[in-house]
Each structure stands twice: as structure tokens, then as C-alpha cells.
Structure 1
Amino acid sequence: MKLAVLSGKGGTGKTLVSVNLAAVAKESVYVDCDVEEPNGHLFFKPTDVKTKKVVNKIPVVDEDLCLGCRKCVDFCKFNALAAIVDKLLVFDDICHACGGCIMLCPSNALSEKDKVIGVINSGVSEAVKVISGVLNTGEVSGVPIIKALLKKIADEKRLTVIDCPPGSACVVMESIRDADYCILVAEPTVFGLSNLILVHELVKIFNKPYGVVINKGMEGENLIDTYCLENKIKVLSKIPFDCELGTLNSEGEIASKIEPYHSIFYALLQAVMKEVQDETIAYS
């Protein structure tokens, strides 16, 4: 089973929830798809780390074959190609590696070369397999790395927790594509509600089952409670606003290794498992 953990912005507690869910599950896989700034490994401190490069296929022009027809330039919506005085220029940094220009070239003047855009690091932390994607600085999109990450876990039988990038952009869409259930993490503030609405709309578009975790919760009803009640969204857990929990998290410690946090995150895992089971029964 694959669980995707989302939040509408950074700093909401997405990685806190992801790391601790994987930890309490014990036999699990943690996948950090926040490739621009992965930090799950800081908690797990994996050993026996292996690194694999991720490459994009970038067009290369053979000037002797190029006809100067500009078909490739007109096709590219990212302006990664330009024809200047009958010379074709390729701007690697903004190329999205779609391959369309190569397919369109009538004279076969374009071929491909490999460009390293980042890496995937794989290691172990006790019984948790830890996989992180890292996008090179300045690269235009982390989607190819996320695709490589998800391909790596495609046949995984253990519980897999996918720590998604913050927000609701293309990288998040790619991260939840194969998820069985989505966990939306939100803070009980006006800003937190605004960002919850964004990811809520996203998971509905993808027709994914989902529930909400309220992080930094306090006593009494709040904006997130009200929104979930009005929209019939299951509140899976309320993680308390707690100084000790904040300290453990800021120091890169896995909070669920001690009480009362183990009980909180174990109960969350059980709640998610029940929701997935109920969804399965409903659609069977």
C-alpha cells in the first residue's frame, strides 16, 4: 500500500507525519519526493547508502544536417530552441526533454545526449528502506526524478510512505499518481486552511481517497475542523501543539520512538489502514 502525504505549503508538518508513519510501521519504505529540498534522511540517518544518477535526454544538433526550417523552434513551447542566423541553438537548462523536436525534424539533424539532473539515494534505517531524490540546483523540473523514484518502488510490497513536495504543482501531481490513499496535513490557521483547500481540490481531481491530519492542534474547534465537517472529510488525527515534539523534530529525532508520540502516530497509522480497508470494501 502506498500512502502519499501532502500539504499546501512547506513547514506544515508533512515530513513529521511521513517519517513517523514509516517509523511506527517498522517494515516500510519511506520515499522523499520533495526533491528540491529533501530532509527525511536527516531523521532516519540511513546507512549503506547507494547513489544513482538521473538523466534527461537533451537534443543535440548536427549543423551539417540542419535545414534551418525552424519546425523544432516553432514546436518548443518552453523556448529551449532558437534559430539565429540559420544556426540552431539548444538551451539545455530550460529543455523539458519531451523529445518532440527530434521527432519533428525532417532531416534527422537532432539526436539526444544525457544530462544529469540529479540523483537518487537509497539506504536503510533499521527496518525502514529510505529513498530520497535530489534535484540539481537550477534544474527546471523535478518530475523526471520523481518518476524515477516511483518506478523504483513500483513492485514494492511493504507499506510505502511518499513524502510529497509542498503545494499542488506538477511535482505533487506526479507524486500522488500511484498512491492508494492521501493524507492532507494542515495547520489550524487561516493560511493553513487556504493551503488545505488547494490540496483538497487536487486529490479530488485525481479521485484519490483522503483524510486530514491537523498538526499543531489546540483545544476547541478550529478552522480546519469546521472545513472538514462542512465537506465531510475524515479527520484522521490531531497532533498537539507541543514544545517537546517541536524540539525533537528540529533536532532531527524520530518522535515516535518515545511516548506519548508513538501512540499518536501508531493510532494515525491504524486510522489510515481502516480508511483504506473501508474504501476497498466499498468499491468491491
Structure 2
Amino acid sequence: MQIAVLSGKGGTGKTFVSVNLVYAKGKSVYIDCDVEEPNGRLFLKPQIKLMEKVNTMIPAVDAQKCTGCRKCVELCKFNALAYIKNKLLVFQELCHACKGCVMLCPQKALSESSKQIGHIERGVSGEVEVITGVLNTGEATGVPIIRKLISSVQKDRTVVLDCPPGSACSVMESIKDADFCLMVAEPTVFGIHNFDMIYKLVKLFGKPHALVVNKDIGDRSLIEKYCDDNDIRIIASIPYDSELALINSKGFVAAKENERYWGIFKEILDTIEQEVCYEATGHIER
């Protein structure tokens, strides 16, 4: 089972929810798909066992074969190719590695080359396997890293995907194979605005979903109205209190430090597991 945890913006509590879910589960896998700024490892503190490079394809030009037909330039919607002063130029930072230019070139003047865009760290933290994607500074997209992160995990394990914030391509890649989407939002006007973006994305993908209200200061009227209007279930509400802030500021896992928080996240997990089981079999697992 794959649970994708996502939020409309950074700082909402997506990583907080993710690391506490895997701790409450015990034997599980945590995958940090927020490759531009992965910070789940700051809480789980894994012992790194393996590091591997992630490369992506970039086109290499054979100037002797290129006739300047510009078919590749016309094909590329990301403007990664330009023909200037009788020379085909490749802008690596804009390339999305679709390989279309290589396949299209009638003169076979383009071939596949590669460059490293980041790496993956694999480690363990207690019973939790921790897999972290790290995108090199300045790279345009982390999608190839996210794709490799998710494809390497066995399907029979409970996996929590800590998704990138927002609703861009990297988020779509993170949730496309998920069994359940757990959205995290703050009960404020700004929080609901960002929540609306990810809800529409989850709905577009047709994923089973629910909401965790984080930083609950006691007034949930706005977010409850939004959820009522859109038939969204609030699966849990986490208080905005000084104890929790102190635990997080020290880089600790709340479910490990306080049994009350362990109970909150265990209940969230049990509810998700029952719903996923029902979606798959039509029966609630007792």
C-alpha cells in the first residue's frame, strides 16, 4: 500500500505527518519525494547504507551530420534546442529528457548522452526503511529521481510518500501510483486556498483521499465548510500547541516522544488501511 502525503505549500506539516505515520506503523518505508529540499531524514536520522547516482538523458549533437533542418527545434516545447549561426545548441537545464529530438532527427545527428542530476540515499531508522531523493542545485526538474524512487519499492509493503509541495509535475509523478492521498492543510484562508489546488489534482487522478487539519487553533469553521461543500472527509485534527512545536524544533518524532501523538497517527493509519482494503476487496478488514 502506498500512501501519498501532500500539501499545497511548504510548511503546512506534510513531512511532520509523513514521518509520524511511518513511526506509528513500525515496519514500513518512508520515501522523501521532496527532492529539492528533503528534510524527513532530519527527523528519522537514518543510518545510510547505500548511495546511488541518478542520471538523466540529454541530447548530444554531431555537428558533422546536422544539416540545420530545425525539426528538432520545432519539436521541443521546452526550448531546450536552438539553431543559431549554423550551429545546433542544447540547453541542458531546459531539457526534459523526452528523447523526441533523438528519435525525430532524419540525419541521426542527435544521440543520447547523460548527466547526473542528483542522488538517492538508502538507509534505516529502526524498523523504517528511509529512501531519500536529492536533486542537485540548479536542476530544472526532479521527476527522474522521483520516478526512480518509487519504482524501486516492493508493492507488498506499506510505503509513505512525502510528496513535494504544490501541484506541479513532480507532485503528479509522486501520486500517480498511490493507493491513497492524505492531504494536509492549515485551517486558514491562505491554507484553504492552497488546499484547493491539491484537492483538484487528487480529484483529477481519481484517488481515494482524506484531509488532516494541522496547526488546529480551535476554529475550523472555514475549512469544515470547504470540506462539506466538496464532500471531503477530515480524518484527523492535530492541535497547534507549544509541546508539539518544541518536539519538532528539536528534530524529534512526536509519535515517539508522546503516546498521545502515537495514538493519533496510528488511528489515521488504521482508517486509511481499512479504506484501501475496502476499495480493493469491497470488505472492511477487522
User: Which bracket does the TM-score occupy, shorter chain normalised?
Assistant: over 0.9
Q: 1:77 to 1:283 in 2, by over 3 A?
A: farther
Between the aligned partners of 1:282 and 1:42, the Cα distance in structure 2 is 39
Aligned residue number for residue 110 of structure 1: 110
Q: Which amino acid aligns with 2:172?
A: M
Does residue 59 of structure 1 match 2:88? Answer: no
Distance 1:17 1:217 in 2: 14
Q: Which residue of 1 aligns with 2:165?
A: 166
Q: What is the CA–CA distance in structure 2 between the aligned matches of 1:115 and 1:48, rounded to whole Å? A: 24
Q: Which residue of 1 aligns with 2:97?
A: 97
Instruction: Specify every segment of 5 or more residues in structure 2 that has no aligned partner in the other structure, as ranges.
Output: none
> 1:73 & 1:109 partners in 2: Cα distance?
13
Distance 2:108 2:220 in 1: 64
Residue in 1 that maps onto 2:239 = 240
Taking structure 1 as reference, are residues 130 and 272 closer, same or farther at Cα in structure 2, changes over 3 Å only?
same
Task: Kindly report the root-mean-square deviation, in angstroms, between the aligned alpha carbons of the 2 structures.
Answer: 1.5
Matches of 2:124 and 2:176, distance apart in 1 = 25
Q: TM-score, normalised by structure 1?
A: 0.96
Deviations 1:106-156 (A, max 9, x none): 111111111100111110001000001111111111111111111111x24
- Cα deviation for residue 278 of structure 1 reads 3.2
Spell out, residue by residue over 1:203-243, the C-alpha distance to the aligned partner (whole angstroms, 9 max, x if none).
11000000000001133542112211222211110001111
Give 5+ residue unaligned stretches, structure 1. Answer: none
**Whole-Å Cα distance in 2 between the matches of residues 221 and 22 of structure 1?**
27
SS at match of 1:260: helix
1:139-181 Cα distance to aligned partner (Å, 9 max, x none): 111111111111111x242210000000011110110000000
Structure 1 counterpart of 2:169, one-letter code: C
Residues 167-204 of structure 1 deviation map (CA, whole Å, 9 limit, x = unaligned): 01111011000000000101000011111111111111
Query: Which residue does 2:25 correspond to in 1?
Result: 25
Residue-pair matches, total: 283
Q: Does 1:2 align with 2:8?
A: no
Residue in 2 that maps onto 1:130: 130
> Identity rate of aligned residues, in percent?
56
Tell me if the contact between 2:277 and 2:283 (Cα under 8 Å) persists in the aligned partners.
no
Q: What are the equivalent positions in structure 2 for 1:221-240 lying under 5 Å apart?
A: 221-240=220-239
Select between 268-277 and 243-252 the one with higher mean Cα deviation.
268-277
Q: 205-214 or 63-72, which moves further after superposition? A: 63-72
Instruction: Classify 1:177/1:230 alpha carbon distance in 2 versus 1 (closer, same or farther; 3 Å).
Output: same
Structure 1 residues 78-102: Cα deviation after superposition (integer angstroms, max 9, x where no partner) = 1111112211111111111111111
Amino acid in structure 2 at the alignment position of 1:208: K
What corresponds to 1:189 in structure 2? 188
Q: How far apart are the structure 1 equivalents of 2:72 and 2:278?
A: 51
Q: Determine the C-alpha separation between the residues in 2 that align with 1:164 and 1:194.
A: 18
Q: Tell me how far apart the structure 1 counterparts of residues 48 and 5 of structure 2 sit (CA, whole Å).
A: 26
- Decide which moves more: 214-223 or 124-133: 214-223
| Paired letter, 1:167 | G
Is the alpha carbon distance of 1:48 and 1:135 closer, same or farther for their aligned partners in structure 2, counting shifts above 3 Å? closer
**AA aligned opposite 1:222:** S
| 2:230 partner amino acid | N
